[in-house]
Amino acid sequence: MEYRIEHDSMGEMKVPADRLWAAQTQRSHENFEIGVGIETMPAEIIHAFGVLKKAAAITNNKLRPEKMTDEKLGAIKAACDEVMAGKLNDHFPLVVWQTGSGTQSNMNSNEVIANRGNQILGKKLLHPNDDSNMSQSSNDTFPTAMHIAAVLILEDKLIPAAETLIETFKRLETENEGIVKSGRTHLQDATPIRFSQEISGWRSSLEKDVELIKRSIEPLRELALGGTAVGTGLNAPKGFDTGVAEEVSKITGKHFITAANKFHALTSKDELVFAHGAIKALACDMMKIANDIRWLASGPRDGLGEIFIPENEPGSSIMPGKVNPTQCEAVTMVAVQVMGNDVTVGMAASQGNFELNVFMPVCIYNFLQSARLLAEAIVSFNKNCAVGIKANKEKMHHNLHNSLMLVTALNPYIGYENAAKTAKKAYKDNISLKEACVELGFLTAEKFDEVFHPEEMA
């Protein structure tokens, strides 16, 4: 491998000749061989750095044109556009397990943008610290990147995924409107319910979750940029913070504002904790929905068997013909991962001292993983399972009329205790509710038929 020599304030470093990073990135690459190639800084953060560095350069050009010249700005914008497009992802090798401020990832972006900008210019004009990092600090850029990445993934990936599944459930509600089935509580038979009502519970849960996520996004629109090292804004010109927020908004097409209190913005991660709580709420509901569906599809002969779901792949290497609810299982595994990530996000947010949180990389790594995994799991679940759900009407009808809890309809006519006696006798003697009720002398056969209509109980 060929190398070139780069230097920083600590001296010279050998850097692979074909890489755009420089000395500080190389030091981190060598000093933190933890999860290399697996747990690297998320692509969403790299993209967010491209956004904020471009916004910062544009704002510096307006406020400090003598330092951020038009020539420098043009090169930085071109390099940042390539970062945002993912063209330079191979030049961001650093792992999550680095300094807790994300300083080395900030410098990674500074070095890549400066070196790529110099390549575009055909001369060495840009400096990583003096130009790419002008008016900034790692302490305000990394939390800014966190918020940008969080807003983008929630609005562009997770919410649309959930809304697609909501639309599928709306269609299923309409298709299954007239079907009545047995309800269940505590995994025991309960009073009847329309299948469309059951589906509406799933749909409404997701709608509530989407609303919660949307509410949680609003605090994430506040950006720390402009606070620099400790929140005082040292070395940043007046108006830089508001100007950058405006430029970030233009670049992303999303609404962002500058944080009112930069001391809070650098030290507290409460906005991410709150938003991840909303993500966890969606994961909890997806866990419940997936479990409902695999219970209802259980069988095909010895389970509930009340719905059919798509058969996507063989389910066993030893049992021929077996098919499993694999999409449900994938969703539930993702759900428990999200619940575990919530602990990490919360713990990370509680750490750090004085003017800076120093658990930021692990915080955003888990946040983005939760949003990404959950979005992709929902899309897969919708495409490969939910859209193909079909009611097994015959089995639903059988289970409904075999349910002892239909006896609840007799309460107004024979009272709760007599209805309980009827149900227990029917169960013990393995006879119908009608036979039990008549044998006990609570109602005549004719009166029973007059008042007993399971389909109307829903």
Active-site residue set? 186, 316
Query: DSSP class of residue 388?
Result: G
CB 68 within 8 A of CB 53: no
**346 vs 146: CA distance, rounded Å:** 15
Residues paired with residue 12 on neighbouring β-strands, in sequence order:
7
Q: Locate tokens 């007239």: which residue?
A: 178
**389 vs 309: CA distance, rounded Å:** 5
Phi then psi for residue 40, to 5 deg, are -85, 165
CB 17 within 8 A of CB 2: yes
Residues paired with residue 190 on neighbouring β-strands, in sequence order:
183
Query: DSSP class of residue 440?
Result: T
Structure tokens of 108? 């990674």
**210 vs 75: CA distance, rounded Å:** 40
Query: What's the CA dihedral at 143, 147, 149, 152 to 10 degrees?
Result: -170
Q: How many CA atoms lie within 13 A of 370 on its CB side?
A: 33
CB 9 within 8 A of CB 1: no
Q: Which of 284, 293, 132 is nearest to 199 (CA)?
A: 293
**16 vs 1: CA distance, rounded Å:** 7
Whether a cis peptide bond, with omega within 30° of 0, leads into 93 is no
Residues paired with residue 391 on neighbouring β-strands, in sequence order:
307
Euclidean distance between the first and the last CA atom of the chain, given in angstroms as a whole number: 73
Query: DSSP class of residue 156?
Result: I
> Cβ–Cβ contacts within 10 Å for residue 178, how many?
10
Q: Which of 423, 394, 396 is nearest to 409 (CA)?
A: 423
